[in-house]
Structure 1
């Protein structure tokens, strides 16, 4: 009898497991433009202080852009409208007044891949408190799923160019539309043309001991970028002037510790400008420790596109840079 019971239990577990797999299998693919966010909350909440706090967190300006653009493009709707294909939106924030007080993140509820942030409270103040406590984590989850989606879209057609591996021993998953424009010494410049300008990726390495003092780290990063710009990234020809890319002088860049390609790294966001010429735009740099080879590898994306929004272009560059791999890790 014990053996029969064990067999029955095993079969039950297999059936439940298969049913769970079937449920997952039939989830539709998520939809939506990159960095779009469905905010599901009643209109009276949206129009009051709860909505103000949602906008404060999720429509905050992206760091390091030429002018203010929100983290996410928000589409707010009451619960009764959240149905049909809208359920398949990739990033969803659900805010509700309820007897429960909670804040958590769900994965693949209505579609895949999908992240759903849920914030509830019995009063406006309780909702806001829960929102403040969880917003950064929810934003991180949304950003990760949006990066994955951006990568998925460009992975369909990749460049076969090997210059990054040949020169620096790294690889990037580069869309085939990007072309190598310059390779000199250990410096590589890759770009693509867009409607009103260009999207650019540069890569080079520096000695492992380049940054000697934590107290001058940001200043030394600026000096590094300016030196590379002066040597390799000229600006327009202007009689009597030497033009080149440099870090915008008025504001120090934002610097954060991160991990890239399973290595410690620094993320740098800021504005570039052209010395001696009125031209500027955003940049994103990763300075990655490569202790095995006694060096640091620098990869950077920057956009030149006057009088246009740049959030999504910079986001695509971030998605590309985050595919970096070191050849000797294989």
Structure 2
């Protein structure tokens, strides 16, 4: 009887432990539109210098856009209302005056996938200091998660055309709504219709020695884009004038280091226009050093959608280009 009783207690404890473990590990699926952010902060702080600092970083204008569009669409909520469904939001910034001074990122607190940036301080000045120091890291964590969320959404139905594999030995996970519109020996143009315009992807290669001098890198990138535009992307017919897509000459593009699928290179953000015709929009270009194949691989996304917001369309293109893989992959 004593052994049986002991065994029963051990079994009961084991079952109880399993139940508690399951309750702790289960999290609901996170919610929220792409590039949306819930900021949990007191109303008074939101209206003051703390709120100004939050907006300066998290609603900063995106680089390379023809009109100002913020990094995130922000919904502010007072901490006393931070309950229920709002806790399942994918990206959350929690700012609070406390006895502690800290700033860190928490993963999957209330839902999954989820990132919660937590910033605390004993005074407004301390909170602002912590925000200034940690904002870039928190933003990067939010953006990485948003990229994955966007990729998961469009991976449900993928384009099955194999032109990129055939011509360049690469694959991109592209939503099925995109279609190949033009292909040449060293150039592929894939696009889809969006509100009042099109979202576009182009892929081509350049010789491995195309960019030799760091001092002239931006100039060389502009020259490359303009030559490709003149050759493959004509503009609207204008009698007596040559029209083609080029880099907007009034705005130098911004260049950042990047690594995608093991290839190092640069990310270029700027504005394109049509020479001799009033059309323009944002572009995002990845110029990657593909040493194994003795070439420079160029992936670009650009949007034409006059008088409309383009942030989320450009973000989708970024998410697509970052799915770059070499060789055949299953879809």
Indicate whether the TM-score tops 0.5. yes
Residue-pair matches, total: 321
Q: Cα deviations across residues 258-287 of structure 1 (Å, max 9, x unaligned)? A: 111121121000000000101100000001
Query: Which residue of structure 1 aligns with residue 24 of structure 2?
Result: 23
| 1:195 to partner: Cα distance | 2.1
| 1:21 to partner: Cα distance | 5.3
Query: Which residue of structure 1 aligns with residue 195 of structure 2?
Result: 195
| 1:22 to partner: Cα distance | 4.8
Query: Which residue of structure 2 aligns with residue 297 of structure 1?
Result: 297
Q: Does 1:327 align with 2:330?
A: no
Query: Which residue of structure 1 aligns with residue 107 of structure 2?
Result: 107
Q: CA separation in 2, counterparts of 1:303 and 1:260? A: 21
Q: CA separation in 2, counterparts of 1:190 and 1:232? A: 13
> Residue 237 and residue 100 in structure 1: after superposition, are their counterparts in 2 closer, same or farther (change >3 A)?
same
Q: Cα deviations across residues 138-182 of structure 1 (Å, max 9, x unaligned)? A: 000000111111111100000101000000111000000000000
Query: Which residue of structure 1 aligns with residue 9 of structure 2?
Result: none
Q: Does 1:150 align with 2:147?
A: no
Look up the SS of the partner of 2:265 in the other structure.
Answer: strand
Q: CA separation in 2, counterparts of 1:289 and 1:18? A: 51
Contact map agreement 2:171 2:329 (CA 8 A) in 1? no
Give the TM-score of the pair, scaled to structure 2: 0.93
Q: Does 1:241 align with 2:241?
A: yes
Query: Which residue of structure 1 aligns with residue 49 of structure 2?
Result: 49
Contact map agreement 2:103 2:120 (CA 8 A) in 1? yes
Look up the SS of the partner of 1:292 in the other structure.
Answer: helix
> Residue 36 and residue 241 in structure 1: after superposition, are their counterparts in 2 closer, same or farther (change >3 A)?
same
> Residue 329 and residue 31 in structure 1: after superposition, are their counterparts in 2 closer, same or farther (change >3 A)?
closer
Q: Cα deviations across residues 78-130 of structure 1 (Å, max 9, x unaligned)? A: 01111111000000000001110000000000000000000000111100000
> Residue 306 and residue 328 in structure 1: after superposition, are their counterparts in 2 closer, same or farther (change >3 A)?
same
Give the TM-score of the pair, scaled to structure 1: 0.94
> Residue 193 and residue 23 in structure 1: after superposition, are their counterparts in 2 closer, same or farther (change >3 A)?
same
> Residue 17 and residue 64 in structure 1: after superposition, are their counterparts in 2 closer, same or farther (change >3 A)?
farther
Q: CA separation in 1, counterparts of 2:312 and 2:328? A: 32
Q: CA separation in 1, counterparts of 2:156 and 2:304? A: 25
Contact map agreement 2:95 2:118 (CA 8 A) in 1? yes
| 1:185 to partner: Cα distance | 1.3
Query: Which residue of structure 1 aligns with residue 226 of structure 2?
Result: 226
Query: Which residue of structure 2 aligns with residue 6 of structure 1?
Result: none
> Residue 209 and residue 18 in structure 1: after superposition, are their counterparts in 2 closer, same or farther (change >3 A)?
farther
Unaligned 5+ residue runs, structure 2? 1-12
Query: Which residue of structure 2 aligns with residue 4 of structure 1?
Result: none
> Residue 138 and residue 184 in structure 1: after superposition, are their counterparts in 2 closer, same or farther (change >3 A)?
same
| 1:238 to partner: Cα distance | 0.7
Query: Which residue of structure 1 aligns with residue 268 of structure 2?
Result: 268
Query: Which residue of structure 2 aligns with residue 79 of structure 1?
Result: 79
Query: Which residue of structure 2 aligns with residue 63 of structure 1?
Result: 63
Query: Which residue of structure 2 aligns with residue 307 of structure 1?
Result: 307
